[in-house]
Amino acid sequence: MILTVLRPALIAALLTSAAPAFAFDPAAMSDAEREAFRAEVRAYLMEHPEVIFEAVDAMKAREAAAAEESDRAMITAFHTEIFEDGYSWVGGNPEGDVTLVEFMDYRCGYCRKAVPEVASLLKSDGNIRLIIKEFPILGEASMISSRFAIATRLVAGGDAYSQVHDALLELDGELSEVSLRRLADGLGLDAEPILAKMNSDEVTREIAANRDLAQRLQINGTPTFVLEGQMLRGYLPAAQLAQLVAAERG
């Protein structure tokens, strides 16, 4: 199967490398010449099967480079919406020289796993600006959680949001008005105005804007990070995040 898929690319590579020596037109070959050529290619691959894996690696490298270039182009096109939307919570060092944006869902296991990694990164590097994008995609509980978090920020401010954000990422079990009241009370917050704000147009617009942005950036999973000019899809440990930050700084 691999040989069948790669054969056109391998033949093209052979022809390209041979181009300076002679002009080669596959369409001009007779059936016998074409069959002989195929036999030569097959014989070479049977003798050097490692070429197949080298071709696969080269193809993956080209695809990765193309994907990275596409990500950078999208990030450039939507730079303001990503880094300066005017509503998303900003933590870490707001004046930091590197910005890390996280699209997250409170019911995402890998988002929860990423919490201590991001916290460790921010603690070890005091010059990172963190932006949280509420991106509920895992059902009704995710939506309720995001609505409650955003409503908290609108009603009680950024510090209260940060506390609720962390608490929701640790909250297990059924999500209900009772559990949300209990969460707010435990943090010393007045639950009533927050609950009243949850279904407001303002909260709805923010979630819709984040979802629209994620779609434009081709983000369909959480966590997804945007680190300056690159997209990081999925969970990453603190050490790897730190290396990527260092690379961004040059």
Which CATH number covers residue 97? 3.40.30.10
pLDDT value of residue 22: 52
**More confident call, 38 vs 90:** 90
Q: Are 136 and 234 found together in one domain? A: yes
Q: Are 150 and 52 found together in one domain? A: no
Q: Are 52 and 84 found together in one domain? A: no
pLDDT value of residue 62: 83
pLDDT value of residue 37: 84
Residue 89's domain comprises 80-249
Q: Are 149 and 241 found together in one domain? A: yes
pLDDT value of residue 57: 79
Percent of the chain with pLDDT over 70: 90
SS (H, E, C) the chain: CHHHHHHHHHHHHHHHHHCCCCCCCHHHCCHHHHHHHHHHHHHHHHHCCHHHHHHHHHHHHHHHHHHHHHHHHHHHHCHHHHHCCCCCEEEECCCCCEEEEEEECCCCHHHHHHHHHHHHHHHHCCCEEEEEEECCCCCHHHHHHHHHHHHHHHHHCHHHHHHHHHHHHHCCCCCCHHHHHHHHHHCCCCHHHHHHHCCCHHHHHHHHHHHHHHHHCCCCCCCEEEECCEEEECCCCHHHHHHHHHHHHC
Tens of pLDDT, residue by residue over 24-47, are: 677 788 888 888 888 888 888 888
Is it the case that residue 9 has pLDDT exceeding 70?
Answer: no
Q: Are 134 and 190 found together in one domain? A: yes
Q: Are 50 and 96 found together in one domain? A: no
Q: Are 95 and 199 found together in one domain? A: yes
Number of domains in the chain: 2
Last residue of a domain, one of 23, 40, 74: 74
Tens of pLDDT, residue by residue over 120-158, are: 999 999 999 999 999 999 999 999 999 999 999 999 999
Q: Are 142 and 177 found together in one domain? A: yes
The pTM for the full model equals 0.77
**More confident call, 59 vs 84:** 84
